[in-house]
Amino acid sequence: MEAQAILLLQVPSAPTIFKSSSRIIVKSQAPIRATRRQLLAYHPSAIAPKREKDAKKRIVVTGMGLVSVFGSDVGTFYDSLLAGESGISLIDKFDASSFPTRFGGQIRGFNSNGYIDAKSDKRLDDCQRYCIVAGKKALEDAVLGSHELSKIDKDRAGVVVGSGFGGVTMFSDNVESLIERGYKKITPFFTPYCISNMGPALLAKDLGFMGPNYSISAACATSNFCFCAAANHIREGKADLMIAGGVDAILIPVELGGFVACRALSQRNDDPQTASRPWDKDRDGFVLSEGAGVLVMESLEHAMKRNAPILAEYLGGAVNCDAYHITNPRLDGLCVSSCIRSCLVDAGVSAEEVNYINAHATSTVVGDLAEVNALKKVFKSKEEIKMNATKSMIGHCMGAAGGLEAIATIKAVQTGWLHPTINQFNLQLNSTQFQIQSNSMISTLQFQVQLVLVDTTP
């Protein structure tokens, strides 16, 4: 069963971002004026209504933080995407030789020094490690490092970072201890470090943030639900600043085996870097990956008072569910298209203004086509729309997918460069009708971003 959560962000001086369970739209200001004149002439009903003017209710993004297959630096992450690099490799953190799928988006060289004390770090699950490091890096990006935190009211600062699975390594290891050595060998940290809300709880503890704090679990839509929830806390006057996003660290034997059992994963063990093939006729499943992606969100008034860097503005959101199947999306894309429309209305953005889509595009046979069917329902003029897929390079990071793709979209607007989709050898053009940006077009695909839509639903 799929859930959709959509939010819309506007990036200052260039962009406008719209984000759903995986949908983000980013649009630059100069082309907007020309577009709006055309809309007045040809699409009078498409003109956006008046948007929020109250600086206390306007939500801005002031910081970004991540942990990814390309490291924990936002700039390096996006440079790797622009270069069309693959972060997928054979798994060596455990013996995967007996599995039909033996590769994934394994994070290597992760270092928590300076962000987590050594004693605590030994106890934590990677899910909590990634959350804490990404959250603190996002605060640093927002000019709120440890020495600047005194500038904010911590009673009105919160954390909403979700996870699809929580501390599964902690759970798996202790179940093994129970079976092999008995209950006395279960660590006393087992219960707290398994639950999905422990990442945001520990992050808030370190920071002293006493505002709203919890985790949302909504599979691949997790990050976007968290963005919507965080924005609502600020809009309702219950918080000034929120850290929001998603995290998952599930590259362990039982989870790999579980997804193999679902027959959801690619089995291209001979060439894992080409395994994630969105829209390719020969795609055979997605690539399991891990990571974290979070944003610092705050009211415009609060950000301006402290002279914060403003990276994007949140405009609106929408949430729904297709109530259809436990894993597969509706083939006609009905509920996804409905969620997109609701977000566009709420945010005051017309479908005609969209000219670029960063799709969810997991590389599954059913999912890719269902998503395209949903997009076709909303966007009638497809010839001018460019579309690409971040997961072709980083794999599917589950609960962290929306957070990492939100960051990729904001970076696209900041830099003016759009990343390619790699691994398209036999493109299923008749199923999309959108202009797919492939690895063969890397040199021509570096152009100024005008409008962006990102999909990260499961």
| Distances in whole angstroms, Cα of residue 27 to Cα of each of 32, 73, 140, 416, 434 | 7, 24, 26, 11, 18
The number of beta carbons lying within 10 Å of the beta carbon of residue 28 is: 18
Residue 219's alpha-carbon distances to 104, 246, 354, 398, in angstroms, are 18, 10, 26, 6
End-to-end Cα spacing for the chain: 9
Q: Facing residues of 293 across strands?
A: 66, 246
Find where tokens 């129970």 sit: 178
Q: Which residues on neighbouring strands pair with residue 280, listed in sequence order?
A: 427
**Of the residues 220, 226, 335, 343, which is catalytic?**
220
* Three-state secondary-structure class, residue 383: coil
- Amino acid making up residue 271: D
Residues in the chain: 458
Q: Is there a catalytic annotation at residue 220?
A: yes
The answer to whether the beta carbons of residues 176 and 257 sit under 8 Å apart is: no
Which among 432, 441, 409, 434 is positioned nearest to 27, based on CA atoms? 409
Catalytic residues, which ones?
220
